Amino acid sequence: MPPQPPIPKPQNQKNKFYFFYGHRKPSQHRPTVRGGLFSNRQSISLHKPSPPHNPQPFNLHHWDPQLHSPTTTETRNTNTNTSLIRLSPIARYIIDSFRKNQNHWGPPIVSDLNKLRRVTPDLVAEVLKSQPDPNLASKFFHWASKQKGFHHTFASYNAFAYALNRSNCFRSADQLPELMISQNKPPTEKQFEILIRFHSDANRPLRVFYVYQKMKKFNVKPRVFLYNRIIDALMKNGYVDLAVSVYDDFRNDGLVEESVTFMVLIKGLCKVGRIDEMLKVLSKMRENLCTPDVFAYTAMVRVLVEARNLDGCLRVWEEMRRDKVEPDAMAYTTLVTALCKGGRVEKGYELFREMKEKRCLIDRAIYGSLVEAFVADGKVGFACGLLKDLVDSGYRADLGIYNSIIEGLCGVKQVNKAYKVFQVTIQKGLELEFVTVNPILVLYAEMRRMDEFCKLLTQMEKLGFCVIDDLSKFFAFVVGKEERTMMRTMMAVEVFEDLKKRGYCSVSIYNILMGHFIRRGSSKR
């Protein structure tokens, strides 16, 4: 084999004992390196000179919201951290940019947003959910839509609606369906449902009807659930005719009523006193769906009680008996209490005896209502009998029942029995009030039994009453009303003259008496 010619050396190389000239071929475990006698590696100095400080380009991965947030200590640590901790890092960066620029949209915020590669619709929705300023939310929403190839999703539209309503810009939120149409995104029932829920929660029934009309304009048909919500919002605020028109549309759409649909109509008609129409809907509910249960009937009675329609309550009660629905204790309590307050204590007492025959659990509130109603009707004997029945049933009468009994006994001039009942209240350990002793004091004053009057004042003082203040209330009660006769006024003056001798006197009593005489034109007196 002939000898090979020597490999020519490069001109710029010196004579070094290299294994080969040139650079090594890079591999996975041996990158391209230069220099060195055997390994082609350069020795690394331990003391590197510090590189010059050059501004680095923005990198979101290196952004820390704690460093870029305001320097206030407590406010940043409590409010900012708790509100932003649930957001993604990019959303926190956008919110921090808003905060740094004092929520004022301008070139600095746009510059910060342009540093991001892209703002997605989900990110827009996330930012809008935590943005309280409607103006800034609108600016950000429209800026995002100008991105190349960007299209809002239903989530971002819904978040924009929430942001506007949160700031009470509900009129702007109502224009969101038109905005979606302009951006080639037809609204669905969900978008209208959100708007209807906003208005119904804020008691804006006409706005609910306005959104419903807009649904018909866009040919969006509500579900049964949404129909129920629209009708309920209109019924609760007294727009019964509008609610009935919506119900007619419900029927024309071929939808089938649910129990909620019937109950919303029935309660709304009961509230405005349209009992005949309510009974028609009730019969339709029996035919098409089911018979109302005791809870439904109790709800009807409660609505009629709030409207003070006792005749309607009794008609509903007869319908319940017709359907053979057994009323429970709550239904009895609701109706008996309403009848007693409405001056129909005989009918209430009849239902009370019916409860006892059926051995229903009778609440103490029923006893209290009956006692108060019998006392107001002048039938104190029935009231005392109910008190005895209450105690025999194992209940403990409250102070209101005792006050009614004392007032009733004083009304029929039986002051001694009233005083005995007052002693019973002391033995029971009840916290007495001035209302308890005032009827007895008035009757003692009318009967001119001043010794017993003062004896009761002494007992009141031992029980912790502020006697001087209570005497001021007593005289204010005696002469307070304009229809008080002159005889009642002179009685108050005589009582006052007697009390002055016994040391019961105050400036407030003088003021009450003088003011009364001035109002009656007896300024000289």
**Can you give the pLDDT at residue 49?**
56
**Can you give the pLDDT at residue 42?**
46
**Can you give the pLDDT at residue 76?**
44
Q: Which of 155, 156, 129, 132 is nearest to 143 (CA)?
A: 156
Dist. CA 158–CA 129, nearest whole Å:
9
Dist. CA 516–CA 505, nearest whole Å:
17
Top pLDDT among 445 and 84 is at 445
Paired tokens of 431: 């916290």
Tell me if 222 sits within 8 A of 211, measured CB to CB: no
pLDDT tens digits along 498-520: 877 777 777 777 777 777 777 76
Paired tokens of 86: 């649930």
Q: Which of 108, 178, 176 is nearest to 136 (CA)?
A: 108
Q: What percent of the chain has pLDDT over 70?
A: 81
Tell me if 228 sits within 8 A of 260, measured CB to CB: yes
**Can you give the pLDDT at residue 493?**
79
Dist. CA 184–CA 187, nearest whole Å:
9
Using the predicted structure, report yes or no on whether residue 495 has a pLDDT greater than 90: no
**Can you give the pLDDT at residue 242?**
93
Dist. CA 426–CA 94, nearest whole Å:
70
Count of CB atoms situated within 10 Å of the CB of 263: 20
**Can you give the pLDDT at residue 18?**
47
Tell me if 504 sits within 8 A of 467, measured CB to CB: yes
pLDDT tens digits along 141-151: 899 888 888 88
Q: Which of 247, 206, 285, 287 is nearest to 300 (CA)?
A: 285
pLDDT tens digits along 206-230: 999 999 999 999 999 999 999 999 9
Token pair 């050396």: residue: 9
DSSP-assigned letter for residue 10: P
Tell me if 425 sits within 8 A of 436, measured CB to CB: yes
**Cα–Cα distance list, 272 to 107, 265, 275, 319 (Å):** 57, 11, 8, 19
Using the predicted structure, report yes or no on whether residue 307 has a pLDDT greater than 60: yes
The band of 100, judged by pLDDT with boundaries at 50, 70 and 90, is confident
Helices 224-236 and 189-201: crossing angle in degrees, nearest 10, is 20
The band of 70, judged by pLDDT with boundaries at 50, 70 and 90, is very low
Q: Which of 476, 480, 460, 482 is nearest to 509 (CA)?
A: 476
Count of CB atoms situated within 10 Å of the CB of 239: 20
pLDDT tens digits along 1-53: 555 555 555 555 555 444 445 555 666 666 555 544 444 444 444 455 555 55
**Can you give the pLDDT at residue 56?**
57
pLDDT tens digits along 337-389: 999 998 899 999 999 999 888 888 888 889 989 999 999 888 888 888 888 88
Domain regions of the chain by residue span:
458-525
Count of CB atoms situated within 10 Å of the CB of 359: 7
Average pLDDT, the chain: 81
Mean pLDDT of 241-265: 91
